[in-house]
């Protein structure tokens, strides 16, 4: 049975319980996504980037990772372009492709890439 405050419009905690993996049934703390048992913090008080206590060098920040991902995607698409243009007969690189990568399949795609 849901708590009284939940039936009156309070948001429910978004955390999953560790033991049963079921959604927490507590109401979320005021202005937070989770209840006090699951580390309720207001979004504006959560420290990010340089302000975070575990920040060391900045190579793993969201911005740095997005930048790395974009560069990796660009490199993989340039490899596609080289194969399409017949510039190389080398084996394709293996492994996971970057997020957002779409394989270039025609010369029109290559032209769009180079613009
Ligand atoms: Zn909770």
pTM of the model: 0.63
Q: Is 60 left (phi over 0), alpha (psi -120 to 50) or beta?
A: alpha
Q: What is the DSSP string of 9-55?
A: TPPBP-PBPTTT-PBP-SBPPTTSSS-GGGT---GGGS--GGGSTT-
- Pull the structure tokens for residue 45: 């008080």
Q: What is the pLDDT of residues 49-58, one digit of tens each?
A: 899 999 999 9
Contact 25, 3 (CB under 8 A): yes
Distance 52 CA to ligand 1 centre (A): 24
Distance 36 CA to ligand 1 centre (A): 7
Distance 13 CA to ligand 1 centre (A): 5
In sequence order, what are the residues at sequence separation of 6 or more whose Cβ sits closer than 8 angstroms to the Cβ of residue 50?
A: 58
Distance 61 CA to ligand 1 centre (A): 27
Q: What is the pLDDT of residues 23-77, one digit of tens each?
A: 999 999 998 999 999 999 988 888 988 999 999 999 999 999 999 999 999 999 9
Distance 32 CA to ligand 1 centre (A): 11
């Amino acid at each position: 049975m849901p708590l009284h405050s939940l039936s009156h419009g309070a948001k429910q905690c978004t955390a999953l319980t560790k033991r049963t993996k079921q959604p927490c049934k507590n109401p979320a703390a005021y202005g937070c996504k989770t209840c006090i048992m699951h580390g309720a913090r207001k979004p504006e008080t959560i420290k990010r980037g340089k302000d975070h206590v575990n920040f060391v060098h900045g190579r793993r920040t969201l911005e740095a990772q997005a930048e790395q991902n974009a560069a990796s995607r660009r490199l993989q698409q340039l490899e596609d372009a080289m194969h399409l243009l017949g510039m190389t007969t080398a084996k394709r690189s293996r492994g996971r492709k970057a997020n957002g990568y779409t394989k270039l399949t025609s010369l029109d795609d290559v032209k769009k890439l180079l613009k």
